């Protein structure tokens, strides 16, 4: 299992995801243009002292990242996804892909990974979940299915 954040923008969210990845032993891939420096104090604060335990990989572009996992299944998640994340039968080598907070996944990545999956939100008036919360929901379901939690 791997997490890929494509062009994340908010350091606190990425720091929270990094902390989640450290807690679950899940590699974290940051892909494309980041909306912050990896030295950002908010990023470091959100990850607290867990950064040494994060298996972190940084890729300049989506194609560069994709070359590192040519045979892995990649599932993209979006508030606009057509099917629920609960419909996926996860496997150990899957990659969970999430886009940036304000714009989601770039069009070329969306097209490559279609169909997109979502986290159902039965409430009204909310467009999307916080990125770190969304990653947590999907990752823990995947780990549950794999018998790792």
HEC profile of the chain: CEEEEECCCCHHHHHHHHHHHHHHCCCEEEECCCCCCCCCHHHHHHHHHHHHHCCEEEECCHHHHHHHCCCCCEEEECCCCCEEHHHCCCCCCCEEEEEECCCECCHHHHHHHCCCEECCCCCCCCCCCCHHHHHHHHHHHHHHHCCCC
Give the model confidence (pLDDT) of 26-51 as tens digits. Answer: 999 999 999 988 886 777 776 677 88
Range(s) of the domain holding residue 9: 2-145
Residue 38 is predicted with a pLDDT of 83
The CATH code of the domain that includes 94 is 3.40.1280.10
The pLDDT score that the predictor gives to residue 54 is 94
The number of distinct structural domains making up the chain is: 1
pTM of the predicted model, to two decimals? 0.94
């Amino acid at each position: 299992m791997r997490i890929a954040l494509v062009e994340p923008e908010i350091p606190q969210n990425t720091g929270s995801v990094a902390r989640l990845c450290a807690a679950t032993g899940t590699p974290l891939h940051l892909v494309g243009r980041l909306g912050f420096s990896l030295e950002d104090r908010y990023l470091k604060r959100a990850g607290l002292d867990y950064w040494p335990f994060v298996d972190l990989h940084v890729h300049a572009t989506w194609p560069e990242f994709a070359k590192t996992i040519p045979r892995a299944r990649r599932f993209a998640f979006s508030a606009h996804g057509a099917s629920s994340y609960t419909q996926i039968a996860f496997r150990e080598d899957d990659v969970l892909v999430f886009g940036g907070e304000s714009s989601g996944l770039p069009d070329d990545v969306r097209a490559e990974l279609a169909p997109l999956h979502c986290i159902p939100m039965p409430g009204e008036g909310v467009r999307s979940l916080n990125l770190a919360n969304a990653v947590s929901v999907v990752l823990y379901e995947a780990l549950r299915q794999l018998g790792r939690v």
